[in-house]
Amino acid sequence: MKTNNSILFILLFILLKGNAQDLNSTLYLMPWPKEIKETSSKFNIDRNISISISGNNQDRVHNASINFLRRLSNRTGIFLNQGFPLVDNAAANIKIIFDKNADLSIEDDESYTLNVYQNNILLNAITDIGAIRGLETLLQLTNFNENGYYFEGVSIKDSPRFVWRGLMIDVARHFQPIEVLKRNLDAMASVKMNVFHWHLTDDQGFRVESKIYPKLHKIGGDGLYYTQEQIKDIVNYASNLGIRVIPEFDVPGHATAILAAYPEFGSVDGAKYSVERNSGVFDPTLNPIKDETYTFLENLFSEMAPLFPDEYFHIGGDENEGKHWNENEDIQVFKKEHGLKTNHDLQTYFNIKLERILNKLGKKLMGWDEIMTPNMPTTAVIHSWRGEKEGFPKGGTLIDATKNGYSTVLSAGFYIDRMLSVEHHYTSEPIGDVKLTKEERARILGGEATMWSELVTPFTIDSRIWPRTAAIAERLWSKKEVNNIENMKYRLKEVSFRLEELGMTHIKNSDVILRGMTNNQDISSLKILRNICEPLKIYSRNKGGTEYQTYSPFTLFADACINDAEDAVMFNTEVIKYLNAPNKKSLDILLSHLNIWNKNHNAFSQIKDNPNVKILEELSKNLSEVSQILIPTFSNKKISRDTFTSLQENIKILSKPFSDTELAILNSLNKLVEYSKTNYLVN
C-alpha cells in the first residue's frame, strides 16, 4: 500500500508542477503581488543574514522582523549569527525602511516595494504595516537547491485591491480559546488579511465578561467567555500583526443567550429563556419599544466599546423573523402609533437608535444586509451575505447597497462553513462586471470569509478555515485578472504546508481523529477513504439544526474529511482528460487509483469492530467492487450485462451519504460507467 501511495504522490506532484510551468509560474507567492519582475539574482541565505530598520516607532516592524528570523531559521535549519534586528543599519544585508506608523484604519497604506539582489535586499514602505506585508512576501520567496537556501531574485511593487480583507470567527456556537484565535491571527497575517471580525454573541452563547451585567457571561456564556483583559490581549496581538479587530454583538435577534441572563429585555413578558443548544434561527428577540432595552444596550456598548479601538462596531441585525414581535400586542400598537408598517420598519427604528448610541461612543454601526431599508442612514456599513449581484435578492446585495450610498463589505461567496470548494470561493468576485462610478467603487471596502461555528470545535476549526481562506485572501488583495484556478491550486498546496509551520492544525488533526475512531489501530485504509470523501455541503450535515447540539461529538469521519479531497481532485481531473482524449498517461493514473481502492477494503476489514468505522463498511466494500470491475474493463476487456448491472448497483449505494460525507469521485465514477457501457458492454 505504501508503494502505491508513493506512486500516486509522485504522479500528483508531476501533474501540478507541470500545470504550474505551463503557466510560467514557479513562485509560491500568495496573494500574488500587484507587479512582479523575476530576475536571475539569488540572495543566498546563510548564518550572516541580518536586518536593519529605519523608521519611527519600530515596535511592529521590530516584532515582525524577529518573527521573520525565527521562522526563516526554523525553515532552513540555519544557525543565524544575529537573531534580532541590528542597530547599525550599514552592516545589515536586509534593509527595511518605512515612513510612518499606520493608524489601523481603512485609510492605512499597505503598499511596499521589495527588491532582492544578489548581495542585499531592500524593503520600502509608506507605513510599518506595509513593511510587515513585505516581510511576509520575502519569506514566501524562500527556496533551495543542492547548494543551500536562497531568496528568489525579484522586483516587486505591491498594494491591495481592497482595504477590508477579513475573517469572521464565530465563538458563540462553539467557544474558541485564546490560543486558537492567536494562531489564526498569525495565519491571517501570513496571507495579508487585515480584519478579524469577532462574532461574540448569539443564541448559543455570550462570550465577553461584563462587569456591569455579569449574568451575561456567567449565565449566557456557560462559563466559557473572554475576560476583558483577554480581549485587550487579542486586540494588542492583532495590532502587532497589522490586523484590526471588529466586535459583533448580534441584536435584536439571535439574542437567546442575552435573554437567558436578562429576560426582562425580551419581547415576551414573563418568559423564561435558556441558552440554545441547537442550531438555526430562533424566536427570542429584544423588545424594541422598551426604554429599558436601550438603556441596557447603551450601558453594555459603553462598557464594550473601549475594549475595541476600531471605529467599526457590528450589531448583527440578521435573521430576525419577528415572531415574538407579532405576538406582542403592545409592540403592534407601538408600530401603528409610529407609522411602522412592517417589522423591517420597526427594526430600522431600533437600528437608528443604536446608531446614535454608537455615534456617541465614536463608533460606526455595521450590520448584515437585513439592516438596509429606505430609512436606514447611509452612515451604516452594509455587510452583504446574501449576494453581490445587483437586484438579487431585492435590497440585500452589495451592489444595491453601494449604489444607495452605503459602504459595503462582501461575504456572499466566502461562507467557508458551507464546505464548498476553493474554486467556488476563488471565483467569487466582489465587483464583477458592474459599471461603478469612482465614488461607488470606493464604497466597496472589501470582503470577509465567514467561519460560523455550529459544526466546528477548537480541534477542527483550522481545517475548516485553511487553506481555502488563503485563496480568498488573494481574491481580495490581488488584481482581478489574477484568476487562474490551476495556478492558484499549485501555490495553495505549498501555502498549506507553510501554514502548518505557523502552528495551524488543519493537516495533522485529521489523522488524530482517525486514530481516535480506531482506538489507535492502523488508519491507512481510512486515510485512503478520507482522501476521496468530503463533508456534506451547505448545512445538509445538520438539517433542521437539531442533529447536532453544541455539546455533540465532532470527532467523526466527517470531521477528518476536508473540502477538495486531494485524491478526488486528481482523479476527477484525469477522468475528464481521459474521456476528452484517451491517452496512456491519464489511464495509468486512473488505474493507479482504482488499484488502490480495489485493495483497500482488505486493509479496512482488518480494523477490529468499531461502530464509528463500521458505518463506512458499505462505502469501502462497494468502492472496492466498482474498482475491481473497472480495472479490467479499461484494459480493453468486455463487460457482461450482468456485471454491468452489478456495477450500477454498486454506484447506487455509493451515491448516498456515509457518516455525513459524500464520495467526491462519484460523478467521475458515473462517467466511467457510462463510458464502459458505450465502449465495452457486450450486447
Residue range 501-542, pLDDT digits in tens:
999 999 999 999 999 999 999 999 999 999 999 999 999 999
pLDDT digits over 55-106, tens only? 888 899 999 999 999 999 999 999 999 999 998 778 899 999 999 999 999 9
Statement: residue 7 has pLDDT above 70: no
Residue type, 168: M
**Cα atoms in the 13 Å half-sphere on the side-chain side of 158:** 31
Kindly report the length of the chain: 683
Closest Cα partner for 192 from 390, 521, 418, 475? 475
d(CA 572, CA 566): 10
Q: What is the pLDDT of residue 390?
A: 44
Q: Are the CB atoms for 465 and 416 separated by under 8 Å?
A: yes
pLDDT digits over 245-269, tens only? 999 999 999 999 999 999 999 999 9
Q: Look-up: residue for cell 452605503?
A: 406
- Chain CA centroid to CA 6, Å: 30
d(CA 126, CA 55): 10
Q: Which residues contact 622 (CB under 8 A, 6 or more apart)?
A: 650, 653, 654
Q: Look-up: residue for cell 488543519?
A: 506
Band of pLDDT at residue 24, cut at 50, 70 and 90: low
pLDDT digits over 573-616, tens only? 999 999 999 989 999 999 999 999 999 999 999 998 788 899 99
- Beta strand 407-410 with 444-451 is parallel
CATH domain 162-168+177-193+378-506 topology: TIM Barrel (3.20.20)
Task: Report cis status (omega within 30 of 0) of the bond before 535.
Answer: no
**Percent of the chain's residues with pLDDT above 70:** 95
Cα–Cα distances (Å) from 196 to 110, 184, 193, 237, 380, in that order, read 17, 9, 8, 11, 19
Closest Cα partner for 261 from 294, 230, 234, 284? 284
**Percent of the chain's residues with pLDDT above 90:** 88
pLDDT digits over 8-18, tens only? 544 444 444 43
Q: How many CB atoms lie within 10 A of CB 339?
A: 8
Statement: residue 171 has pLDDT above 60: yes
Statement: residue 159 has pLDDT above 90: yes
**Cα atoms in the 13 Å half-sphere on the side-chain side of 550:** 22
Mean pLDDT over all residues of the chain?
93
Query: 3-state DSSP call for residue 680?
Result: coil
Angle, helix 485-501 to helix 59-76, in steps of 10 degrees? 90
Active site residue: 38, 298, 303, 319, which one?
319
d(CA 31, CA 540): 32
Closest Cα partner for 419 from 523, 318, 567, 539? 539
What number is the average pLDDT over the span 336-342?
95
Query: 3-state DSSP call for residue 173?
Result: coil
Q: How many CB atoms lie within 10 A of CB 190?
A: 23
Q: What is the pLDDT of residue 433?
A: 83
Q: What is the pLDDT of residue 82?
A: 94
- Chain CA centroid to CA 58, Å: 31
Statement: residue 379 has pLDDT above 80: yes
What number is the average pLDDT over the span 109-137?
98
What number is the average pLDDT over the span 395-410?
86
- Beta strand 195-199 with 148-158 is unpaired
Query: 3-state DSSP call for residue 350?
Result: helix
What number is the average pLDDT over the span 421-430?
95
Cell of 421: 470548494
Q: What values do phi and psi take at 467, rounded to 5?
A: -90, 0
- Chain CA centroid to CA 490, Å: 18
Query: Positive or negative CA dihedral for 43, 479, 248, 246?
Result: positive
d(CA 389, CA 384): 10
Q: Are the CB atoms for 353 and 294 separated by under 8 Å?
A: yes
Question: In 65-97, which positions are buried (b, 16+ CB within 10 angstroms) versus exposed (e)?
Answer: bebbbebbbeebebebeeeebbeeeeebebbbb
Angle, helix 566-580 to helix 2-22, in steps of 10 degrees? 70
Q: Look-up: residue for cell 423573523?
A: 321
Q: What is the pLDDT of residue 389?
A: 52
d(CA 460, CA 510): 8
Query: 3-state DSSP call for residue 156?
Result: strand
Cell of 136: 511576509
Closest Cα partner for 514 from 501, 525, 503? 525
Q: Which residues contact 291 (CB under 8 A, 6 or more apart)?
A: none
Closest Cα partner for 34 from 168, 120, 130, 102? 130
What number is the average pLDDT over the span 484-488?
95
- Chain CA centroid to CA 671, Å: 32
Q: Compute the CA torsion angle 126, 127, 130, 131 (nearest 10 deg).
A: 100
Q: What values do phi and psi take at 320, rounded to 5?
A: -90, 105
Statement: residue 563 has pLDDT above 60: yes
Where are the CATH 3.20.20.80 domain residues in the chain? Answer: 162-168+177-193+378-506, 195-348+357-369
d(CA 123, CA 138): 9
Q: How many CB atoms lie within 10 A of CB 529?
A: 27
Find out if CATH 3.30.379.10 is the number for domain 26-158. Answer: yes
d(CA 448, CA 166): 4
Band of pLDDT at residue 25, cut at 50, 70 and 90: low
Where are the CATH 3.30.379.10 domain residues in the chain? Answer: 26-158
Closest Cα partner for 410 from 432, 434, 382? 382
pLDDT digits over 186-201, tens only? 999 999 999 999 999 9
319 flagged as catalytic: yes
Q: Structurally, what CATH architecture does the domain formed by 195-348+357-369 represent?
A: Alpha-Beta Barrel (3.20)
Burial class (CB within 10 angstroms; exposed 0-12, middle 13-18, buried 19+) of 169: buried
pTM for the structure as a whole: 0.94
Q: What is the pLDDT of residue 393?
A: 39
Let me know the angle formed at the C-alpha of 72 by 66 and 78, rounded to the nearest 5 degrees.
Answer: 110
d(CA 656, CA 234): 43
Cell of 468: 481555502
Statement: residue 665 has pLDDT above 50: yes
Q: What values do phi and psi take at 458, rounded to 5?
A: -55, -25
